[in-house]
Structure 1
């Protein structure tokens, strides 16, 4: 029994420990360059995916976490392989060679893990903000594009990938074509639909953690979001931390603005609810 209790405790605290490590490594990113920055980039991806999967397993069970990985990273890998080979759905692009570790068909294997690490917090927050399935899927897709408005400019500036069309993007971000964001929207919508199916077939585990119904809305969620505190915190850090990093430390003020606005679609109502809950008295008894 003692061993089982220790495993349950480790499972409970693993997402938070991983999230703290993720934040510390991301803070180190602007302080590095060259091969050192490449290693930090890989570490960020592994920690973000690890945090997402650890939380998913703790809150919903191993089966759910496995399904999450298969859907998001699996579909992400397929989309990237098809994308680099054909230009569909993102547009024509290619990854730098031998910078982010082993690759499959020209796609570094850490890239599909980045999809899981980045989209899971968006998926959780979208579920807290909406009552309906379609609304959640749509909001998650918009949030995914918002995240990519940070990710793509940062990685392009660092030379991790290159676009063939470098003059048909957003004002100030011409080097990244509009097709990229349309591709992200389409892939994220498909991921959201598949994740919805996963949630309907997965069984919530009872381990002292409660997962709010994705259709319940924020009004039924505790002020600290219960077991969803880690992905909520990671979402807020990704949003607000990226605005600061891009504007001040990475010399990318345009993407700081675009990404900040894109993720604000979820972030502003989330902050509003956090503020509202902060002002409510805590019931006694």
Structure 2
């Protein structure tokens, strides 16, 4: 499609309630995360859960509007079910993340894993897939599976460099042996990130291969939902929050660089889509 041409809207759902629900949930995510940063640590669990649930709903609605019902169902099954399976194996065996345990502070659990953790995989796996598809298209017009899965996995796993220190400091889970760790990101073993990359590659590959074709004329059309914006918001707000609120300035720098390797080019891609 040439630059400046108005995109064709192939899916009438874009004119319906699904994108509205997605954007309302996206706004709730932003509000909850702002309130989180202004709340005492012992009172943050409510905004944590609200933010994750709202983000997960936004991602599912975004998948529905952007790709259709098949993609939405796959997202829940692959990211939610797959995330729960990976976390269950991880908690009980130490593979593939390393030996860790949840402390019971995140609410309802299934086989030792908080339900909200499975929803966290749902909430970020979808925008990570969009990142992978978008950036892979820059270098290869055919967007091969390995390239989309690799970029998308980095987009998802690099976010955990922000997430894990925050959640460990909040007391939601703990590691049996946190060393060796990334420079400046103490308390989280390298095995954790290796596990994230492994699981993320599998999730993004399955979603990319199985979700089908987008139902919008322009894949990053923001009328379908807020997933691209929420990914960029997560990046920017995480950089700021770790530097200004969580007393982890080195995490802000290290994670900012690692996630920025995909977040910054993705921001350019979103901007170019609306240039």
Give yes or no for TM over 0.5. Answer: yes
Q: Which residue of 26, 31, 38 corresponds with 1:19?
A: 26
Map 1:111-190; keep pairs closer than 5 Å: 111-131=117-137, 132=143, 133-190=145-202
Q: CA deviation at 1:116?
A: 0.8
Map 1:1-285; keep pairs closer than 5 Å: 9-34=16-41, 36-97=43-104, 99-131=105-137, 132=143, 133-200=145-212, 204-205=214-215, 209-210=216-217, 212=219, 225-227=221-223, 230-274=226-270
Residues 45 and 113 in structure 1, CA contact (< 8 A), matched pair in contact too:
yes
Unpaired stretches in structure 1, ≥5 consecutive residues? 213-220, 281-285
Q: CA deviation at 1:44?
A: 1.0
Greater than 6 Å deviation, 4+ residue runs: none
Q: CA deviation at 1:151?
A: 0.4
Residues 87 and 113 in structure 2, CA contact (< 8 A), matched pair in contact too:
yes
Residues 179 and 190 in structure 2, CA contact (< 8 A), matched pair in contact too:
no
TM-score (norm 1): 0.84
**Partner of 1:94: helix, strand, or coil?**
strand
Residues 14 and 65 in structure 2, CA contact (< 8 A), matched pair in contact too:
no
Q: Deviations over 1:105-137 (max 9, x none)?
A: 211111010011022112112211113222111
Q: Deviations over 1:190-225 (max 9, x none)?
A: 11121123224xx655xxx4453xxxxxxxx7xxx4
* C-alpha distance 27-85 of structure 1, shift in aligned 2 (>3 A): same
Residues 99 and 177 in structure 2, CA contact (< 8 A), matched pair in contact too:
yes
Aligned to 1:283: none
Unpaired stretches in structure 2, ≥5 consecutive residues? 1-11, 138-142
Residues 59 and 211 in structure 1, CA contact (< 8 A), matched pair in contact too:
no
Q: 1: CA distance between counterparts of 2:33 and 2:189?
A: 26
Let me know the Cα RMSD of the aligned residues.
2.2
Residues 210 and 226 in structure 1, CA contact (< 8 A), matched pair in contact too:
no
Q: Quick check: 226-235 or 36-45, which moved more?
A: 226-235
TM-score (norm 2): 0.87
**Partner of 1:171: helix, strand, or coil?**
coil
Q: 1: CA distance between counterparts of 2:202 and 2:108?
A: 27
* C-alpha distance 40-275 of structure 1, shift in aligned 2 (>3 A): closer
Q: CA deviation at 1:103?
A: 0.5
Residues 19 and 223 in structure 2, CA contact (< 8 A), matched pair in contact too:
no
Q: Quick check: 175-184 or 34-43, which moved more?
A: 34-43
Q: 2: CA distance between counterparts of 1:277 and 1:51?
A: 21
Q: CA deviation at 1:50?
A: 0.7
**Partner of 1:120: helix, strand, or coil?**
helix
Q: Quick check: 225-234 or 111-120, which moved more?
A: 225-234
Residues 21 and 61 in structure 2, CA contact (< 8 A), matched pair in contact too:
yes
Tell which has more relative contact order, 1 or 2 (C-alpha 8 A, sep 6+).
2
Q: CA deviation at 1:227?
A: 4.2
